[in-house]
Structure 1
Amino acid sequence: MISWSVLLNWLFQTGVAFIATIAFAIIFHTPRKEYVFAGITGGAGWLVYLASMGFGADTVIASFFASVALAWLSRIFSFARREPVTIFLICGIFPIVPGAGIYYTGYHFFMSDNSLALSKGLETIKIAIAIALGIGIVLSLPRFFFTLRRTTACKKGASS
């Protein structure tokens, strides 16, 4: 059972991820009407990451699940909002990108601590591959997984 303090911490971190994703969306020149949806994507991805870590997954597996969730949500928003999926995906991935791992890899490398640099570098590469696999799996799924309604023109054209 997860305690209330852990849930409140997850809620706070999800809110921060939501706001940070909107800030990145502004920098990325996302259309204004899509800020909230990009924020929801980033917040949801971070929440899945936190929940996965909370239930015992390691960083690589948690990053995979988070990328699957945010790619799924990005495709849903893409079809619902009639915008390119990259608007939501690139902004939403911002919270789970292993920036600290890249930084510490370089730091340990330049400080001549090669074993720590190698360790951090391999972990960062694993996380990046997990994120890429999660996104690739979701983006390769057929369109009907992400649309709720069928167009009547397609149905009429098929029966004619």
Structure 2
Amino acid sequence: IKHSNGGGMVSAAPVWFTMLVQFVVAMVATISFGITFQVGRRHYWTCGFVGAVGWTIYIACTTLGGMTAPMATLIATLPLAALSRFFAIRHKAPITVFLLTGIFPLVPGAGIYYTAYYFLRNDRALCTSKGIETLKVAVALALGIAIVCSIPLPKRHAASRQAKIKKYEARCFFDMLPLE
């Protein structure tokens, strides 16, 4: 981000300021998507935080770390998915509430758009290039989520969850029995 200091000179903003702006904008965008996605009001700020953390890590990896988009996406998806899982347990809500809204800033929408654009313009080289890059980012998202979700839950949470599932299954079983 560049700004004028009043004398006509343009200077670069400090890195921390750029990252803060990116964090805030990603948070607002994620909350807006959460509203569109009809997430409960009590989850807005948490969803925004998850998305902002993921996006800020992505930006840090690409700009400061010099990583490619797919690698930065994988690195950013890991803490994003972990935060989604943590907040799902803490707020007693499905993980998808935080995960789907949180990955919103990382989804390669522009890549999908340009792939279709170059396809319609009959530019096979650029279409293939953008398509492969977009596919790599999508696979990185899926891989990051799969890695985090494959980690077992804490024993106390897993035990209470299994008890709730058994209780629900028993209730459903008795609801299916015919009344005579």
Question: TM class by shorter-chain length?
Answer: 0.7 to 0.9
For residues 117 and 129 of structure 1, what CA distance do their matches in structure 2 show?
18
**Alignment-derived partner of residue 37 in structure 2:** 28
Secondary structure class of the residue paired with 1:44:
helix
Question: How many equivalent residue pairs?
Answer: 147
Q: Distance in 1 between matches of 2:87 and 2:54?
A: 14
Matches within 5 A, 1:35-46: 35-46=44-55
Read off the aligned partner of 2:152 and give its amino acid letter: P
Q: Which structure has the larger Rg over C-alpha atoms?
A: 2
Give the C-alpha shift of residue 28 in structure 1: 0.5
CA distance in structure 2 between the aligned counterparts of 1:114 and 1:7, rounded to whole angstroms: 40
Distance in 1 between residues matched to 2:138 and 2:19, nearest whole Å:
23
Pairwise mapping of residues 127-138 of structure 1 onto structure 2 (< 5 A)?
127-138=137-148
Per the alignment, residue 143 of structure 1 pairs with: 153
The structure 2 residue matched to 1:101, chosen from 91, 94, 111, is 111
State how far apart, in whole Å, the 1-side matches of 2:79 and 2:56 are. Answer: 10
CA deviations 1:61-84 (Å, max 9, x no partner) are: 000011111100000101111111
Which SS does the other structure have where 1:30 is aligned? coil
TM-score by length of 1: 0.87
Distance apart, 1:5 and its partner CA: 1.5
- State the secondary structure of the residue aligned to 1:17: helix
Runs of 4 or more above 6 Å deviation: none
Q: Partner of 1:73 in structure 2?
A: 83
Q: CA deviation at 1:10?
A: 1.3
Normalised by the size of structure 2, how large is the TM-score? 0.78
3-state DSSP of counterpart to 1:143: coil
Q: Does 1:59 align with 2:104?
A: no
CA RMSD of aligned residues (A): 1.8
Residue of structure 2 in register with 1:15 after alignment: 24
Compute the displacement of 1:125 (Å): 0.2
Give the letter aligned to residue 107 of structure 2: V
Q: Which residue of 2 aligns with 1:157?
A: none
Gaps in structure 2 of 5+ consecutive residues: 1-11, 161-180
Cα deviation for residue 4 of structure 1 reads 6.2
Task: Name the structure where helix makes up a greater proportion of residues.
Answer: 1
Provide Cα deviations, 1:96-116, integer angstroms capped at 9, x if missing partner: 000000000010111111100
